[in-house]
Amino acid sequence: MTLPIVAHFDAGDASPYATALRSGGGVLRMIDDDGAQDAPIELGRFLAAADDADRSVLERARGAILDVGCGPGRMVRAAIVAGHLSLGVDVSDAAVAHAHAQGLPVLHRSVFDAIPREGGWGTALLMDGNIGIGGDPALLLSRCASLVQPDGAVIVEVHADPHRDRGFQAILIDHAGRTSLPFPWYEVGLDGLRRCAADAGVRVSETWSHAGRVFALLERAQGVAL
């Protein structure tokens, strides 16, 4: 499965995401194509150690963990500490460089590129709203489901609003006015996730929340081969 090359979260020579990672943190805003802004994105949380909400995900993870859109690698590190074989993938040069500087196993590539152990992962993670990657949640879920074992799981962090269900062209902007190139993104809450899951041949088997963050565990629908 291959997608056309498209702009992404770290796109542009003056990428505010890369700048924030290299400077040790910062606050970014995501603006949609109508000019609306969502909640601020605190990069310091991506760079910090895993918190209790993150650990609630790892408690439900099965076997070897693939972190899709792993950023600087906090979940990869936490998964390894918890005893899981773990690998991260990310398209951001800056994020991968940060992970490598910590000695973390992270590959610089898209989830739609060739991935080691395809079909053999126990769990694929889509944290921090990464269900939005590529702007097509059903396609992304289908790809992630193809990467895990038949009895594996995909764990998704969704939007806190259960009714959120929208795709758009987004840009990131920081306090200095640096902006990314536009990139496709999608925000989805639990209601929309169930629809996307059905389209992808998977089903939501558990949901939970922790400290205002909302998660869902998905499994392959019975009798569906991917």
**Residue 144 to residues 14, 174, 217, Cα–Cα distance (Å):** 30, 31, 12
Query: Does residue 160 belong to any structural domain of this protein?
Result: yes
Query: Does residue 177 belong to any structural domain of this protein?
Result: no
Query: Does residue 140 belong to any structural domain of this protein?
Result: yes
Question: Do residues 90 and 108 make contact, with C-beta atoms less than 8 angstroms apart?
Answer: yes
139 phi/psi in degrees, rounded to 5: -65, -40
Per the structure, the count of domains in the chain is 1
- From 176, 165, 160, 169, select the one nearest 208 (Cα to Cα): 160
Per the structure, the complete domain to which residue 65 belongs is given by 50-166+186-220
CATH number of residue 135's parent domain? 3.40.50.150
Query: Does residue 194 belong to any structural domain of this protein?
Result: yes
Query: Does residue 13 belong to any structural domain of this protein?
Result: no
Pairing of strands 106-108, 86-90: parallel
Number of other residues whose CB lies within 10 A of the CB of residue 141: 24
- Environment class of residue 207 by beta-carbon count within 10 Å: exposed (0-12), middle (13-18) or buried (19+)? middle
Q: Tell me the pLDDT of the chain (226 aa) as tens digits.
A: 444 445 677 766 778 999 999 999 999 999 998 887 878 999 999 999 999 999 999 999 999 999 999 999 999 999 999 999 999 999 999 999 999 999 999 999 999 999 999 999 999 999 999 999 999 999 999 999 999 999 999 999 999 999 999 999 999 999 999 999 999 999 999 999 999 999 999 999 999 999 999 999 999 876 454 4
Q: b/e per residue, 103-138, with b = 16+ CB within 10 A? A: ebbbbbebbbeebeeeeebbbbbbbbbbbbbbbbbb
- Residue 12: CB partners within 8 Å, gap ≥ 6? 179, 180, 181
Query: Does residue 97 belong to any structural domain of this protein?
Result: yes
Query: Does residue 161 belong to any structural domain of this protein?
Result: yes
Query: Does residue 195 belong to any structural domain of this protein?
Result: yes
- From 72, 78, 73, select the one nearest 58 (Cα to Cα): 78
Q: What is the DSSP letter of 4?
A: P
